[in-house]
């Protein structure tokens, strides 16, 4: 591979060195003796070792998708801190030629059927509960935490997030709550234990369903919590007093958002409250993250995931028959959450690696660290939108939002 790599990489390395001067050493060969420097420095902060010629075109035309592909497929090994590796990846991606317009962003639309959505959910969530446990923490809550001060532990932030949501929707004893995408049951268990609600939680993940039911049984709450393996489109119960959807609507699809919100409206009582909590694009035209990050996530992490801009969320929500009452940006909170997940993933490597193959471990390692970067740099955002059925009299709306933050 030596002469092939050298002929391919020399002109590219010189261009990178001229444009961005990165503290990176690129090496190849059986012993790694052949190398190029991508900048002027005393010691490299990142070392990239090429293990397979398949990596060469991906390095020469770098995007976050191609660089990520080279890493997760094992065609390159990378040494250095995750922060430095991600910084280098973004600088390299910036050197490539990209389409104009939306800064190279594309708007990908998928055909979302019940079968394809179920397959996508199971691909992502049914790795194994044992895989998620070491880095999600005791709460096993896989969504953005809520940090009032920024120094809370992950478990404290997740508990506060759940209470924040339940306070926002003004949950009262005896009310019926539907949680769309209930995960491992954390929110419905808290709603039943602390607020006296009667809950239905639905998920498409078999592993989540099994563990959530087990946790409900262990808490002695089977009489007031019903966990179902069910698509949100198939829920046909009498209307609920409250509905929550936390970290689920990213799987709905841009073309299906109005129908999704219409289903929430159909399942909600006229005086009910609903909360949609989900990740959004920061591109006003619903475009993906820059430099191929969305393509990487679609291929390796969240098949068929689609992120709308908050403007699209509010428009389709209204089209579905709901009125937004409160919109809260939690981008800083998710940056902190994903950073804690990434740190825990790194710290628990010896425990996590034996549970999956090398490729899956690499996917999740770069994905979690990449998420923390994306939220930190406004590549993606996240909003909680509190809403009610539209068309209600104004005098039935609260005067202020004070109750949301009252302890």
What SS3 class is residue 255? helix
What's the CATH number of domain 2-95, 3.30.1050.10, 3.30.70.260, 3.30.70.240, 3.40.50.620?
3.30.1050.10
Runs of H (alpha helix) within 148-274:
154-168, 186-195, 206-218, 257-266
Task: Flag whether pLDDT at 89 surpasses 60.
Answer: yes
Element (H, E) at 60: helix 56-60
Question: What's residue 107's pLDDT?
Answer: 57
Which of 49-58, 262-271, 289-298 is the least confident region?
A: 289-298
**Tokens in use for 192?**
């039943």
Confidence of residue 93 (pLDDT cuts 50, 70, 90): confident
pLDDT by residue (tens digit) across 345-371? 999 999 999 999 999 999 999 999 999
Which burial class, exposed, middle or buried, applies to 42 when counting CB atoms under 10 A from its CB (0-12, 13-18, 19+)?
exposed
Question: What's residue 290's pLDDT?
Answer: 78
Name 407's Cβ contacts closer than 8 Å, sequence gap at least 6: none
Residue with tokens 């900048």: 39
Tell me how crowded residue 108 is: count the other CB atoms within 10 A of its CB. 16
The catalytic position among 182, 199, 371, 387 is 371
* Domain residue extents for the chain: 2-95, 114-405
pLDDT by residue (tens digit) across 132-170? 999 998 889 999 999 999 999 999 999 999 999 999 999
Do 253 and 278 contact (CB within 8 A), yes or no?
no
For the chain, the C-alpha Rg in angstroms (whole number) is 23
Task: Flag whether pLDDT at 117 surpasses 70.
Answer: no
Torsion sign, CA atoms 179, 183, 187, 189: positive
Residue 371 bears catalytic tag: yes
| Domain at 114-405: CATH code | 3.40.50.150
CA distances from 28 to 44, 51, 69 (A): 15, 7, 18
pLDDT by residue (tens digit) across 6-51? 677 788 888 888 888 899 999 887 666 688 888 888 889 999 999 9
């Amino acid at each position: 591979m030596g002469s092939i790599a050298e002929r391919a990489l020399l002109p590219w390395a010189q261009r990178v060195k001229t444009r961005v001067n990165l503290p990176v050493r690129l090496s190849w060969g059986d012993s790694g003796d052949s190398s190029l420097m991508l900048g002027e420095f005393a010691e490299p902060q990142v070392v990239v070792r090429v293990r397979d010629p398949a990596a060469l075109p991906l390095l020469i035309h770098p995007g976050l998708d191609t660089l990520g592909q080279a890493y997760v497929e094992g065609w390159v090994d990378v040494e250095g801190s995750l922060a430095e590796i991600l910084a280098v990846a973004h600088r390299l991606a910036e050197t490539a030629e990209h389409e104009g317009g939306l800064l190279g962003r594309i708007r990908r639309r998928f055909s979302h059927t019940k079968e394809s959505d179920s397959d996508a959910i199971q691909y992502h969530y049914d790795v194994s509960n044992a895989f998620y446990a070491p880095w999600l923490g005791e709460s096993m809550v896989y969504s953005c935490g809520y940090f009032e001060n920024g120094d809370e532990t992950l478990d404290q932030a997740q508990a506060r997030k759940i209470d924040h949501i339940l306070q926002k929707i003004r949950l009262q004893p005896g009310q019926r709550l539907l949680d769309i995408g209930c995960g491992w049951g954390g929110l419905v268990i808290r709603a039943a234990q602390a607020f006296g609600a009667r809950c239905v939680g639905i998920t498409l993940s078999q592993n989540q369903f099994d563990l959530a039911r087990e946790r409900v049984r262990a808490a002695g709450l089977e009489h007031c919590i019903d966990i179902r393996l069910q698509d949100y489109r198939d829920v046909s119960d009498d209307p609920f007093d409250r509905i929550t959807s936390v970290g689920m609507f990213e799987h709905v699809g841009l073309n299906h958002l109005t129908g999704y919100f219409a289903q929430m409206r159909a399942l909600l009582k006229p005086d009910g409250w609903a909360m949609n909590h989900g990740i959004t694009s920061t591109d006003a035209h619903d475009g993906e993250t820059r430099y191929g990050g969305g393509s990487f996530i679609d291929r390796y992490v969240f098949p068929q995931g689609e992120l709308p801009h908050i403007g699209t969320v509010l428009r389709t929500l209204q089209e579905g028959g709901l009125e937004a009452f409160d919109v809260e940006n939690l981008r800083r909170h998710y940056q902190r959450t994903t950073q804690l997940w990434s740190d825990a993933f790194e710290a628990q490597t010896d425990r996590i690696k034996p549970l999956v193959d090398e490729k899956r471990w690499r996917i999740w390692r770069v994905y979690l660290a990449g998420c923390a970067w994306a939220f930190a740099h406004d590549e993606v955002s996240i909003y909680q939108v509190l809403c009610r059925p539209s068309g209600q009299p104004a005098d039935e709306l609260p005067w202020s939002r004070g109750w949301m933050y009252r302890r």
